[in-house]
A = this chain, B = another copy of it.
């Protein structure tokens, strides 16, 4: 048996998220289908993060076990030949048998992009949440800073999950206003706000709930983020930001 790790990029707009589902087109389902065609056997893929519907990835990681002797690079090209253009394998290599895509990851980085009241360039419209209210960036920055460190993030966890431990450590969180975004070596102007979060793990909807709450704070609609955190109650936090603005950027092993 070989254990192969794939590095993946995808535009999530046309998918019902990562996780395989019987009656929906998903990222995991699409790649597993390609792998099963190539190997001639049902092949199961384990992903590092189960991204939601519409969420994108620049550096998702996923692994599978196979009896096949095909080299990782051959898998890369064969899977890409079978997949639609909005999912790509951008790297492939052998990993140890005891490596686990999810549990071996000690840190992941997500970022979320808000575009604050500007015409939405066709080149970013699939990748931003266009917020039309005036936003107080300083308030968003200060509130974000209060989330750094080890906390119970229950207030930012989707209410319909039954996860036991909602404590996570946020290593890095940043709210960064950007007046231009580089694109193909040129520039796109706009009032962009990029929210970057690195943590040892993420609860369901955690980044989208933090982004939504920070936007609510920016427009003066939410209370003190320390109180929200302390309450450990999803109802205290703000809206869930739409999936389209969210990227899984990197998984650290």
Contacts and interface: CB of A to CB of B under 8 A. Distances in A.
B185 A88 contact: no
A90 interface: yes
A22 interface: no
Contacts of A80: 119
A124 interface: yes
A111 B186 contact: yes
Interface in A120-163: 120-125, 127
Given A90-B189, A189-B90, A184 B122 contact: no
A120 B77 CA distance: 11
A194 interface: yes
A111 B185 contact: yes
In this complex, the member of A90, A178, A247 whose beta carbon has the largest number of chain B beta carbons within 10 angstroms is A90
Interface in A86-129: 86-90, 111, 113, 119-125, 127
Given A9-B121, A11-B122, A122-B10, A249 B186 contact: yes
20 contacts: A9-B188, A11-B122, A58-B188, A80-B119, A85-B122, A85-B125, A86-B125, A87-B122, A88-B119, A88-B121, A88-B125, A90-B121, A90-B189, A111-B186, A113-B185, A124-B184, A176-B185, A182-B183, A183-B183, A186-B249
Closest 5 CB pairs of A and B: A182-B182, A11-B122, A86-B122, A85-B125, A90-B119
Given A9-B121, A89-B119, A184-B194, 16 more contacts: A9-B188, A11-B123, A58-B123, A58-B183, A58-B186, A85-B125, A86-B122, A88-B119, A88-B120, A88-B122, A111-B186, A113-B184, A124-B184, A127-B184, A183-B183, A186-B247
